[in-house]
Amino acid sequence: MKNKSRFIMIVLAVLLVMSGCSTNMGANSGGQEDGQASKKQDQLVIVRQSDVENLDHHFMSTINAASVTHGKIYEGLVGRDKNAKIKPLLAKEWEQLDDTTWEFKLRDDVTFHDGTPFNAEAVKKTFDRLIDPKVASPRAVVFKMVKEVKVIDDHTLQILLTEPFSPLLSILASHEGGIISPKTIDKYGKDIIQEPVGTGPFVFESWETGKEITFHKNDSYWGDEPNVSEVVFKVVPEETTRISMLETGEAHIAEPLSVNMMDSVKASANVEVYRSEGFGTEYVGFNVQKEPFNDVRVRKAISHAVEMDSIMKGVFNNIGKKANSLLGSKVFGYHPDMKAYDYNVNEAKKLLAEAGYPDGFKTTLLTMDSKERISLAEVMQSQLKGIGIDLDIQIQEYGTFVEQATSGNSEMFIISWRNATGDADYNQYNLFHSDSSGPAGNTFFYGNDEVDQLIEEARSEKDQEKRIELYAKSQELEMKDAVYIPVRVIENMAAVRKGVKDFSISPAGYMEINKIRID
């Protein structure tokens, strides 16, 4: 009703203005009238299941948050094109001078939203903050190999590494590589940035926590200007409400879209389904530091007791490929010959007995408030009864779920990893290296010296075929240690109101809205 009343008031105001100018209507007034009409269509409304945890790329632990700001507020030295290939962005060109030195030539026509010139000093300041131990950024781990960002001149810089690092460009293209205004860094220092300022096509306007985030178009953007003047990200936890808002025209995009709602959206005259394969996977994880999951036999037993084919059909309606590891099939380093544990209840019971649990035990499975994941949890609860395991399902709001899982306050959990770079390193280092335990991504709290060594060797190896071999070995060891149960390769899904053109979700999971048109 509020929206309806507001619309009526706007119409009346426009009519009053038109009648007041009726004796003097020339070409300019006609242009203003057209501008008013287009402005109404210029607001893009995106309704989302959950809010961001913060707006600071140095402290973001999820693609859910980064998807709001990456490429919109913040931009990096390099980006990705529609085929996920690395392309120039704030850097015009680059060259690897030797194993540990990369040189970048920067654009000279860019300013930050606050008017500060973009230059090599600004880039240095961003990376100095990111890797500063006093700031304690959970994302510093992905740039731990950076020794120094060296300014050569205003628009030339070098990134000096402590060791060779083959996936550097892929990391720079992810949200962790976003460049922040020096003034913003001076203002917030080591505290989390509340008002993000970058170089992107949209400018931050406001954030009402738990409700909505608003951006407006950057009229001084160095690149192609967006087609919409304002973007509003609204938090609407209930999916049926999100879809209803698209039906009525209150919103344009609803994400994520669950498998359960897909058929309803397909039947709609006003809304369409968006689907694309992602880099990431969904999986069930074990906290290997917690009893009884500190015993690999228990983890293997549960892995054997889960019948994934029926889950793929019954829970996910066969949407998304069944996963065999935590790397999606499009990711560099994917191991196509990996084998997950087969369904074998007798073997599961045997392993539990060997581990000292012949009658099973009671444990907790943590999940966020997603219909699909709740359904997955319930099916697992039923299946694990067959080996004597009593599974208590705990359902939590997204932010609380992430905090609990990353703090180690979990036993079993259902989670996903989107893989922001498309390179196995982002998956392997963040999820499995012992240095990444906790908020950096290793919510298994897993450590294996041999796996650590393989991941580190793959990071420094120039030969891409050898990197693939090293990642194959690390993935096989992780599966041998039964750290997780792979579920499926993520399909990016959203509901989009008809008339919304050029929306997409990148394989990494970032919403692409800069070219959206609303017809």
Residue 251 lies in a domain: no
CB 322 within 8 A of CB 488: yes
pLDDT of 41 reads 64
Same-domain status, 30 and 74: no
Burial string for 462-479 (b: 16+ CB within 10 Å, else e) reads: eeeeebbebbbbbbbebb
Same domain, 10 and 122: no
**Helices (runs of H) and strands (runs of E) counted in the chain:** 16, 20
Threshold 0.75, pTM exceeds: yes
Same domain? For 353 and 432 the reply is yes
Within a domain: residue 513?
no
Check if the beta carbon of residue 431 is closer than 8 Å to that of residue 176. no
* DSSP assigned state of 269: S
Helices (H), 292-370: 296-305, 308-314, 345-354
Confirm whether 99 is domain-assigned: yes
| 183 in the same domain as 69 | yes
Which of 136, 167, 198 is the last residue in one of the domains? 198
417 falls within a domain: yes
Span between the terminal Cα atoms of the chain, in Å: 25
pLDDT number for residue 38: 40
Which amino acid is present at 262?
Answer: M
- pLDDT of 11 reads 36
* 210 class by beta-carbon count within 10 Å (0-12 exposed, 13-18 middle, 19+ buried): exposed
pLDDT of res. 469: 98
Asked whether 409 and 281 are in contact (CB, 8 A), the reply is no
Give the DSSP H/E element, type plus range, for residue 241. helix 239-248
Domain count, the chain: 3
In this prediction, residue 244 carries a pLDDT of 97
Tell me the residue length of the chain. Answer: 519
7, 90: one domain: no
Same domain for 396 and 482, yes or no, is yes
* DSSP-derived secondary structure letter, 193: P
- Looking up residue 341, the CATH number of its domain turns out to be 3.10.105.10
Q: Looking at the DSSP assignment, which residues form a beta bridge with residue 367?
A: 395
**441/334 same-domain check:** yes
Residue 72: how many other CB atoms lie within 10 Å: 25
Domain C-terminal end among 172, 198, 224: 198
| 119 and 82 fall within a common domain | yes
Asked if 420 contacts 328 with a C-beta cutoff of 8 angstroms, the reply is no
Q: Which domain holds residue 453?
A: 278-492
> d(Cα 252, Cα 232) in Å, to the nearest integer?
10
Please tell me the distance from the alpha carbon of residue 515 to that of residue 423, in angstroms, as a whole number. Answer: 26
305/367 same-domain check? yes
CATH code of the domain covering residue 181: 3.90.76.10
Report pLDDT for 371. 87
Q: Do residues 447 and 481 touch, judged by C-beta distance below 8 A?
A: no
> Are 188 and 313 part of one and the same domain?
no
Query: Which DSSP letter does residue 77 get?
Result: S
In 99-240, the DSSP E strands lie at 101-106, 146-153, 156-161, 202-208, 212-217, 230-235
Looking at this protein, which amino acid is placed at residue 52? V
Residue 243 falls inside a structural domain:
no
From the centroid of its chain, how far is CA 374?
Answer: 21
Is residue 263 a part of any domain in this protein? no
Find, among 338, 340, 358, 339, the residue nearest to 348 by Cα.
358
Residues 469 and 344 in one domain: yes
Distance of CA 258 to the CA centre of its chain: 17
pLDDT for 36 equals 39
Q: Answer yes or no: is 443 within a domain.
A: yes
State which residues of the chain have pLDDT below 70.
Answer: 1-41
Is residue 449 within 8 Å of residue 488, measured between CB atoms?
A: no
Residue 319: partners with Cβ closer than 8 Å, 6 or more residues away: 259, 262, 275, 491, 493
Residue 49 domain-assigned (yes or no): no
Which of 198, 224, 251 delimits the end of a domain?
198
Q: Are residues 454 and 310 in the same domain?
A: yes
